[in-house]
Structure 1
């Protein structure tokens, strides 16, 4: 279990910038926990503090009831991937893992096992400097799993992976959690987190915004809509219009996307005016929609409206 209590990190003197601000959360075993936040939210700094690479200005964080630096055999307790390229480029994948293994008395057979697990057996003898980004990610994951740790911490593990690799890491993370391990994963890919994570820790500008399950977060986001299909969609749209109701055209002229009212209300309005309705389907929010709504004011750099690159007109 990972426990952060009042975790704070500031850089600088009198003009110090607070990167992580009194962050308190718990990551429990047995589930994949997604660590989400916009760029600059403090995710990487938080992970570095968990691993003792950065010292907190105040607060503390433990893994398995003790600080990472106090772990007697850290590779057996915590496996981490923060930077896939943090490998000597002249080493082969096999030699890199063997060097790590020697620090903890880990067997050669375990090295060969994680090479096979990550699909690197055929390139184990190649120098890392020739690895693609995806191969580097796989090697970093192999190193994280080398000590068969109870806790796994991965920062953007699917970067550079092809679709097969993304599916592989998704299934791997789920299987690790099913074994009772603590799995803490950061990612900017909301669609992938929706498929992989069960729980979420969401931060913005270094502060905790949410600590919940994926299902509860999406359900409580309030971003829901009704898909309405009717041959008289225009008339129905006019009848439904109101100050708290948002209506947008759908994929076809007969389709509407209606927010602010439920299906029962739409059905009663349609029936009262003898308007046929072919479909009335609730659309739940996606994780991406819920995340964007929550973090809208926490984004460090806001992009402007899309403009035509030649005319300057809004797209």
Structure 2
């Protein structure tokens, strides 16, 4: 189990993580989500003992990471897929980690096989692609057969087959009773992989819930509206509604249902060619939840 209790991190006058509490339980895949700058990486670094909290605590199996006599057997982590010596082979990179914990060569060979790297185990990692580097990082995270696994953007750089492999791997780890915490920007993948979500924004907890509940809480979803007078319709929509242009004459409207949009258009003599309700998705629910927590927002072109 991974637990954060009133976790806070400040750098000078800037507070990156604010009084953050959550629990990641065994047997589930927990997605750790938030916009860029939300404090996700800092939180993970505090969980893994790489950054000291300004306040609060972060524990794995009831202890801080540094207090575990053999931490690789308690929590395996991937924070940076390129954190290896470029001159080493994949095999020797893993063996160098194994020696620190008395892990046998057979375990190194096993994780190379699990991650599909057996055939390139003798190659120097400086020639690895980003996807191969990700696989090597995951192999290192699994090396100690840990009770908990923490992965930051594990599918970054992987092809579709690799993405599906990671999805299957995470689910199988959770099915074995392990604690799995994974950070990702791919909402579609989190919708397929995660059982539970912890969402933060500007360092604060925004949601600690299931995927299904977060989507349900998002409400009616969005409505695709096609009209030759879409620009005028946009100006007439009430303040709670938000719009995004999906193409010439087509708007995606959130915060207002299809009947309300139809009545508004009829009242102002606006011709509608299509009015298509769409169920809420995890991506939309996430965008709605974190809308006020986005640090960098682009303007429309």
TM-score, scaled relative to structure 2: 0.85
| Residues 241-289 of structure 1: per-residue CA shift (max 9 Å, x gap) | 99689999999x9xx98974589x99xxxxxxxxxxxxx9963201110
Cα RMSD after superposing both structures: 3.2
Match of 2:179 among 178, 182, 192: 182
CA–CA distance in structure 2, aligned partners of residues 225 and 186 of structure 1: 26
Aligned partner (choices 5, 15, 18) of residue 15 of structure 2: 18
SS in 2 for 1:87: coil
What does residue 138 of structure 1 align with? 135
The runs of 4+ residues in structure 1 deviating greater than 3 Å are 225-228, 241-251, 256-263, 280-283
CA gap 1:295/1:138 in 2 versus in 1, 3 angstroms:
same
**Correspondence for 2:285 among 290, 295, 303:** 290
2:44 maps to 1:53: no
How many angstroms apart in 2 are the aligned matches of 1:185 and 1:25? 14
For 2:186 and 2:243, the matched residues in 1 are separated by 28
1:196 aligned to which of 170, 173, 193: 193
Question: Match of 1:149, SS?
Answer: coil
Give unpaired runs (5+ residues) of structure 2.
Answer: 226-232, 262-274
Counterpart selection for 2:104 from 104, 107, 119: 107
* Cα distance between partner residues in 1 of 2:294 and 2:255: 25
**SS state at 1:40 partner:** coil
SS at match of 1:222: coil
Aligned-pair CA distance for 1:299: 0.9
Gaps of 5+ in 1: 229-237, 267-279, 307-315
Superposition pairs of residues 191-270 of structure 1, within 5 angstroms: 191-225=188-222, 260-261=256-257
* Distance in 1, Cα, partners of 2:106 & 2:145: 13
Partner of 2:117: 120
Cα distance change on mapping 1:106 and 1:224 into 2, 3 Å: same
Residues matched between the structures, number:
289
Contact 2:221 2:284 in 1 (8 A): no
8 Å contact from structure 2 (residues 90, 125) kept in 1: yes
